Each structure stands twice: as C-alpha cells, then as structure tokens.
Amino acid sequence: MRLLRRLAKEVLGEEVGRKVWGRVEIIGDIAVIRKPPDVDLETLKILANELVRRLRYVRSVWAAVTPVTGTYRVREYVHLAGEERSETIYREHGCVFKVDIREVYISPVLNYEHIRVARKVAKGEYVINMFAGVGLFSIIIAKHASPSKVISIDINPIAHRLMVENIRLNKVDDVVEAVLGDACEIVKRYRGMADRVLMPLPELSVKCLPQAVEALKGKGVVHVYEFVTATSREEAVVEAKKIFGDALNELNVSYDFEEGRVVRSVGPRYYQVVLDIKISRRI
Ligand SMILES: C[S@@+](CC[C@H](N)C(=O)[O-])C[C@H]1O[C@@H](n2cnc3c(N)ncnc32)[C@H](O)[C@@H]1O
C-alpha cells in the first residue's frame, strides 16, 4: 500500500485514511500532500506532523490545494507541518536545482523524461528548450550529453532567476543560456539554428509548433507534450499523433514519428503524451 495512505489509516483511522491520495511527493526536503476534497486541512495537519516525525529527511509539509494553474503552471499550497519554507534543493540525475514550490513548476514525475531526452542529444547539437522552468531538461542535457548550446527560455521571472542560479550551481554556464520571455516570440530569434526543440508545455505545443519548426535547421527533432483523452495508453499515443500530424500537415514539412509514449496518466481516460518528431523543412 502506498506510504501516505498506510500512515493516514494508522493516524486518522480507516475511513479518513481511505480518502487520502496514496502518493506523497518528495521535492528535496519538502513533502507535498494533495488535499482530498472531503478531508479538511486541520485533519491533514495531524498526518503531516506524523510525516515529519517518521521521515527524517522531510523538514516541511505542504498541501497542494489546487491543480497547476495559470501561465506559470504553479499550484496553490497551504503549509501543514515543519518549517514554513517553500524553497529547497531538488536533486535529479546528479544535478542540483534550487526551486520554490510556491513560485515555479516542479514535478518529480518528469524525472525519467528528462534523462530520456538527454540520451537522445548527439554531440554538438544546438538545443532550444522553449518552456524550461528552472532548467531541468536544459541542465540535465548539458550534463549528460555534449550539446554545443542549450537555449533555455521561460516566461516566469522567478523561474528564470532560479534557472540562472541552477546553471551556475551545475557549472554549465558555458553551454546553457537562460532567456526570459515568451518563447513563442523569442524562438523567432533562432530561425534555422536548432537541431532539437523541446516544447514541454501541453497548453502551447500545438499553437507554437510553427515557430518551433522554423527554429530548426533543414532537419531536426521536436519534442512535443500534449494532453489527450483516450480509452487506453496506446490509444492516447495514436490520438496525439493525429493532433500533431494534422498540425504538421499545415506546414511545409515532411515528418516521421520517432517515438511516442505516455508520460503520465492525469485522470480517468486522460493522459499526458510526448512525441519525438523528426522534421525536414521543405525548402
Ligand atoms: C510544465 S512547466 C515546464 C517544466 C520544465 N520543463 C521541467 O522539466 O521541470 C511549463 C513552463 O512554461 C513556462 N511558460 C508558460 N508560458 C510560456 C511562454 N509563453 N513562454 C515561455 N515559457 C512559458 C511556465 O512558466 C513554466 O515554467
């Protein structure tokens, strides 16, 4: 049984415990519990205090009271137990990231995705990460592959500031360049320069696909992320291919789906999918 639900049943009783989401998200020394609709915050505080007592590495516990919202894709939180601090150091694939869970997007669920993409980057590639957050894909690519450049764009000024710090902390200043602003506009500066463009923001991946494609050299790879409704994981990938196939058919390109996979299941019959698409621009 998932750790949090087991603990919840122990300290709050069977009935309340059953309502608690099983997975606790650990980000550095911060634990995040999703607030179930019919369990109040005072009850969750009892559970959170027990979590701090039992898990020595947890110093602060927060309840996520909304899903990610807004342009910056950040959840709203309420402090439950331990230190009232939302900044921490998050570690992934041998890299360190300063984050502030109340100010920037951060999700350990993308852990595998970060290294999966990094492993695809060939020596000397010019990479553009359009929706970089605090720089996870960009820095992990710089550390695990040998790109010539990673342009790392985000519109959230706090994410940008933390990304600049993270680039320095991980000693990749010679390769990764943090850029603040709207990627769909900024990417136009890099027309014809990129071997690979990452679009890890489902809300804008179709809309800004033409600009991403324009940023590619004659040919290259675009990684697109999208939410799709489907009855199975396999169908979710097929659906995503239809969406991006239609969008690419509007552009003057030929394309080939290199890989497609479900990144996570978001809700009943609702999935986040990534497609790696090889694209050749027709001159
Ligand atoms: C899902 S998060 C990215 C996660 C990040 N790549 C990671 O691996 O942790 C999406 C990011 O896109 C940023 N964003 C939203 N709209 C944007 C835009 N028009 N241009 C650039 N960044 C944008 C948000 O601030 C947020 O940090």
User: pLDDT tens for residues 106-132?
Assistant: 999 999 999 999 999 999 999 999 999
The dihedral sign for the CA sequence 30, 6, 75, 197: positive
pLDDT band at 5 (very low <50, low <70, confident <90, very high): confident
CA distance 233 to 50: 36
CA distance 280 to 216: 9
pLDDT band at 283 (very low <50, low <70, confident <90, very high): low
**pLDDT tens-digit series, residues 54-77:** 999 999 999 999 999 999 999 999
User: Contact at 8 Å (CB) between 205 and 277?
Assistant: no
Q: How many CB atoms lie within 10 A of CB 146?
A: 13
Residue 57 pLDDT? 95
Residue 6 pLDDT? 87
Distance 15 CA to ligand 1 centre (A): 38
Instruction: Give the position of tokens 């009783």.
Output: 13
- Mean pLDDT score, 253-275: 96
Residue 92 pLDDT? 98
Residue 167 pLDDT? 98
Instruction: Look at residue 250 and give its three-state secondary structure.
Output: coil
Quick check: CB of 155 below 6 Å from ligand 1?
yes
- Mean pLDDT score, 161-169: 98
The full set of domains in the chain, from first to last, is: 3-85 (3.30.300.110), 103-281 (3.40.50.150)
Quick check: CB of 110 below 6 Å from ligand 1?
yes
Percent of the chain with pLDDT over 90: 89
Residue 16 pLDDT? 87
Distance 100 CA to ligand 1 centre (A): 14
Which residue owns the Cα nearest ligand 1 atom 25? 72
Distance 45 CA to ligand 1 centre (A): 31
Q: Which residues contact 172 (CB under 8 A, 6 or more apart)?
A: 139, 142, 143, 150
- Of 22, 49, 156, the residue nearest 102 (C-alpha): 156
Which residue owns the Cα nearest ligand 1 atom 6? 132
Out of 105, 115, 163, 211, give the residue to mutate to test ligand 1, the one with the largest number of ligand atoms within 8 Å of its CB.
105
Residue 71 pLDDT? 97
Indicate whether 282 pLDDT > 80.
no
Token digits for 77?
Answer: 């939180």
Residue 245 pLDDT? 97
Residue 54 pLDDT? 92
Residue 4 pLDDT? 86
Quick check: CB of 7 below 6 Å from ligand 1?
no
Quick check: CB of 182 below 6 Å from ligand 1?
yes
Indicate whether 183 pLDDT > 60.
yes
Task: Tell me the pLDDT of the chain averaged across its residues.
Answer: 96
Residue 15 pLDDT? 86
